[in-house]
Amino acid sequence: MAHKQIKDAGHEADSALKQARAIEKVLTEARDSLKAQQKRLHDYVQETTAGGKVRISNQGTVTFTDSVADDPELQGQPGFGQAVAAEQRRIDEIEGEIRKILQTVTEVDDSAAAALRYNVGNDKHGFNEHATGNTEKAEDRYDSTRAVQLAQKGEDMSNSELREFNSLLKEHKKDPEFSERFATRMGGRGTLEFWEGMGLHDEPAPEGARKELLEQTRSQLGATLGTATQSDSKAMQDWKNDVIADGPYALDHDLNKPRGFQVMSDLMNSGRYDSAFLKDYGNALIDYEKDATKNGDSLSDEYLGKVIPGSGLDGGDIDLTNDWGTDPMAGYMNALGHNHEASTEFFSNKSNFDYAVGGEGVKGARDWPEDAYPQYDSGKSRGYDALGHALESATTGSDYGAAKPELHRGEDERAVMQRVMERYGNPEMELMDKQTGISDSMGRMGAAYIDDLNYSISGLDASDQRQRGMEELFGAKDENRIEPVTAQQFVRELGNDETSHGIMSQAQQAFTTSRIQAHEGTAEAYRAAEWGMTMHGALDEARAEQIGREYREGDEDYNHELAKSAAWKQAGVSVAVGGATTGVEAAATILAPQAAPFVIPIAEAAGTAVETGLGNEIADSLKESERDSTGKAINSIDGFDYEAKGLARTGIDNYMNSHGVEGPSRDARNTALDAAYARGGRITDTDNSR
């Protein structure tokens, strides 16, 4: 007994020493930091007041000893107002610098306080054997504890507390330790119950500041949980398992509440989630949906709720309306979009591809429900929009929405793109028409494979001895050649839609410019231009036919649509060109205001430095076309043909101007370009509407 008491006392003494040293370290660092800020403030005040023109009070108020504003002789004189304003700007500058120093002092004090709380611990009768004196780690631990404390208040959080909660998540959302501590302390089910209970999807929905704060919470919480899933610790594996296990069930066993999948997927619209977790989550979600619909029930009933007539104990109806009204597959697709490895793996599985993409006659395809919640009413389906993001990620090898998009078209990415072209290019399925909201993604995917599409549309075949080496004209590789029919049908579908036609037209203009520069000073530059015109002709013919199907010739809307589609350039376009690195292809990123960027391959050899002038040439070509198309009225297919052809020719016109091509030689070049444009039109012409 005595031995145990002595041993315990020794352990307590060691803990006391460790805690004392940790506290000493925290206080010493705080003292040194505060002394440094004190000197910084003293030096700044001395420097600022030297000469006696400026006074700074003990409260930090700044005044001029001889202020212009107090001089009656200067009042009313020219420049008096500007002089007073200049004095005030100087006062604001000095007071602002003082506030910055004092803010640093406050931060030092707060960090020290957090460190002391962590190092002292919660045991009122003992010492903290885990004390370290590490201020930064202590502050992070304190922040995660505070975030959990706030989350436990749930919907009772005031707006001020919700702002604090959002701020903590925003600051630490990429911090693995903070994110894991927060997630595991909340628990899988606790996380779902917290977010469901915050009431963003209540009926009536929150408004004003509360709604804005909750939307910020969704974004920051989703990103934080995404970071947490990157951990493979047992605690996080338990969290992942719990979230997936709760997915099929209504929270609190209340059928008027959302399923766990709906709540988690709502958060998965933001953040980058672990690939293995996404795979397990997706498998469970699909299994659940297939089981829920095997007897003929719809996903709309499953997710939006339904009324069951005369099934209550009193013979009355049971209303199982679910206010959330969200499709969990949409959030899951966005999560795949933010993790290109996971999305490529998902769509490489043909069963998954068929289930998500669907199409007429595709066995086991998903019937996508509409989101019912009004905040998502943006004129297009969130589900198909999210599906597009996931497919973009899977085919380009770059996360959707990445700050710096890249292009990595490996074997798996190309295989998924092949499926996309075959499915969405199938004229019998008309998927792009039926899947409202996906056309912009299809346009960006087409842009990412613009070299292969050009090569395939051309009909050239490098396996033919007589055409050996022709793939170099497009910067493409023959082993990546797409079947011409597949390419033609896909390009026709892209051309049909206004959005994808615009993206592809810009991509083609940029790609043609890059190929002209690659062959500068040779006859191949003109051949590259001709094939570019062929592609433009194919896109424009498809668009003109679609307008003819949707509108009656001569109507105002008909003329308006023709003019819009002819003027497909966007003002304010800029271009970023990046050289190839390991596993990433050289590419140009086309950036336009109020539109997602898209990437085109520029077919530079890996490791070769890309000339900085290329980006400027592409941007100039696009901007020149935009200027040329401003304000022109078009009221016939022939007028559309003339204007669209002129815009498409801009890049080669600029090239001929820079090389001084004039006279008959220029006329001959233009005749060849016009002929190439007409050939392209014949490729996608389905009804000979001209």
Do 610 and 656 sit in the same domain of this protein? yes
Structural domain boundaries enclosing 21: 2-120
pLDDT (0 to 100) of residue 366: 94
Q: Are residues 609 and 527 in the same domain?
A: yes
Question: Does 246 lie in the same domain as 173?
Answer: yes
77 and 174 housed in the same domain:
no
Q: Which helix (H) or strand (E) holds 530?
A: helix 524-550
Classify residue 544: in a domain, yes or no.
yes
Domain boundary among 311, 346, 361: 311
The set of residues, in sequence order, having a beta carbon less than 8 Å from that of 447 and lying 6+ positions away, is 503, 504, 506, 507, 590, 598, 599, 600
Distance (Å, rounded) from C-alpha 404 to C-alpha 531?
30
Same-domain pairing of 21 and 164: no
Residues 161 and 109 in one domain: no
Q: Residue 374 — pLDDT band, cuts 50, 70, 90?
A: very low
Range with lowest mean pLDDT among 80-94, 194-208, 505-519, 631-645: 631-645
Calculated CA dihedral for residues 461, 466, 469, 474, nearest 10 degrees: -50
Query: Do 544 and 623 fall within a single domain?
Result: yes
In the Cβ-directed half-sphere of 86, how many Cα atoms lie within 13 Å?
A: 7
Residues 577 and 521 placed together within one structural domain of the fold? yes
* Domain-embedded: residue 29: yes
Tell me which of 267, 294, 311 is where a domain ends: 311
Q: Which amino acid is at 207?
A: E
Predicted confidence (pLDDT) per residue in 417-443, tens digit: 999 999 999 999 999 999 998 999 999
Selected residue with higher pLDDT from 448 and 574:
448
pLDDT digits (tens, 9 = 90+) for 332-357: 999 999 999 999 999 999 999 999 99
- Asked whether residue 88 falls in the same domain as residue 212, the answer is no
Which residue has better confidence, 99 or 112?
99
Please provide the DSSP assignment of 294-319 as one string: TTS--HHHHHH--EETT-STTS--EE
Residue 390 lies in a domain: no
pLDDT at 618: 60
pLDDT at 551: 67
Is pLDDT at 122 greater than 50 in this prediction? no
Q: Looking at residue 592, what is its pLDDT? A: 67
Q: Within a domain: residue 343?
A: no
At residue 688, does pLDDT exceed 50?
no
- The alpha carbon torsion through 119, 123, 127, 132 (nearest 10 deg) reads -20
> Pick the residue with more confidence: 438 or 80?
438
Same domain, 227 and 280: yes
CA 512/CA 622 separation, integer angstroms: 11
Q: What does the alpha-carbon distance between residue 243 and residue 177 come to, in Å, rounded to a whole number? A: 20
Q: Which two tokens stand for residue 656?
A: 């001929």
Last residue of a domain, one of 246, 278, 311: 311
Q: Is residue 292 part of a domain?
A: yes
The number of domains in the chain is 3
Instruction: Please give the mean pLDDT across all residues of the chain.
Output: 80
Place 556 in a pLDDT band, splitting at 50, 70 and 90. Answer: low
Residue with tokens 């002391």: 116
Q: Do 112 and 207 belong to one domain?
A: no
Domain-embedded: residue 13: yes
Helix (H) or strand (E) holding 192: helix 188-197
| Residue 466: per-residue pLDDT | 52
pLDDT category of residue 284 using cuts at 50, 70 and 90: very high
Q: What is the pLDDT of residues 201-216, one digit of tens each?
A: 777 778 899 999 999 9
Q: Are residues 77 and 185 in the same domain?
A: no
Q: E strand or H helix at 577, and its extent?
A: strand 574-578
Which pLDDT band holds residue 685 (cuts at 50, 70, 90)?
Answer: confident
Instruction: Name which residue leads in pLDDT, 47 or 235.
Output: 235
Answer yes or no: is 348 within a domain: no
Give the three-state DSSP class for 56. strand
